[in-house]
Amino acid sequence: MTSEVQSITKYDDAAKIQNNVVHLRPSQGSIFRDSSIHFHGTGNVLYVEDGAKLRNCRLRFMGDNAVIHIRKSARFTEVISSVFHDSIFYLGEDASFTSPARLVPSERENIIIGRDAMISSRVASRTADPHLVYSTATHKRINPSRSVWVGDHCWIGEEVLLLKGARIGSGSILGARALVTRQVPSNSSAAGVPAKVVGNDVFWLRPSVHAYTKAQTEKSLEFAGDNFVFTADDSTLNIDALELAISSATTGLEREEWCRTLDSAMGKNRFFMGISG
């Protein structure tokens, strides 16, 4: 990691970054407002899709050969993230944020968020504890870091904390202040500390009911479509295989290519997750 810090606070700064790969440019619909990006290393890759709207973002590469890959959305992206050596922060398309999420992928693990995520206020995630814990009997480390996966169309409630090893299946809901450390199946709701599944076979829609009239409430009592009901099919990805594939990458460019394989996996059920064993 180099001691020289390179920074981006406006689009024009992107062209000045050296020894890192940057795709951040003004384009139709794009915004880069009250945001900054800092490089504390080399070999990193920043990809911000054309048309993305970044607001109140603070992105930091805290080492070498890491990746931040952000897809565009009609809504604002608001993220505070420190990405360490050989790690990835991946954000799928059409995400929304109530306030900046705080995300820290480290120790060569990753935070992966699928498309159409709805992320509420003060959400945080990290892949490490981050300090070392050992067994008194064996003196072996017992707290390895692990990646965090969030599927498509997930609703992450206020002050949710996603810790290492959390895997959230597509279509699921995490209640306010849930602390998640394990797998939540698709089309489930989970809540509590630690989070437990409290509802199965549910799905959710984006419209907010706060200002609903009586007529709107009555109309909302039933929704006939299966748009957000997820099942296993031929498009479902094997997350363990994906993690094995990315573990063999040695450069930021190889990790960015892996991110593009996620971009190209368009199947509705790509991040379906069942009940873990």
In one-letter notation, the amino acid at residue 195 is A
- CATH class of the 6-205+228-264 domain in this structure: mainly beta
Measured torsion, CA atoms of residues 231, 244, 102, 32, in degrees rounded to the nearest 10: -90
Q: Which residue's entry shows tokens 């094995």?
A: 244
What tokens appear for 92 in the block? 């799928």
What pLDDT, on the 0 to 100 scale, is given for residue 58?
98
What pLDDT, on the 0 to 100 scale, is given for residue 2?
52
> pLDDT (tens digit, 9 = 90+) per residue, 206-239?
999 999 999 999 999 999 999 999 999 999 999 9
Residue 181 neighbours by CB distance under 10 Å? 15
> pLDDT (tens digit, 9 = 90+) per residue, 234-247?
999 999 999 999 99
Backbone angles phi, psi at 260, to 5 degrees: -70, -25
Domain boundaries of the chain, sorted by first residue: 6-205+228-264
The length of the chain is 277
> pLDDT (tens digit, 9 = 90+) per residue, 184-196?
999 999 999 999 9
| Spatial contact of 182 and 273, defined as CB atoms under 8 Å apart | no
> pLDDT (tens digit, 9 = 90+) per residue, 245-275?
999 999 999 999 999 999 999 999 999 999 8
> pLDDT (tens digit, 9 = 90+) per residue, 120-146?
999 999 999 989 999 999 999 999 999
DSSP-assigned letter for residue 259: H
Q: What is the mean pLDDT of residues 45-53?
A: 98
DSSP-assigned letter for residue 36: E
pTM of the model: 0.97
pLDDT at 1 over 70: no
- C-alpha to C-alpha distance for 44 and 188, rounded to whole angstroms: 36
Strand partners, 190: 174, 197
- C-alpha to C-alpha distance for 120 and 162, rounded to whole angstroms: 13
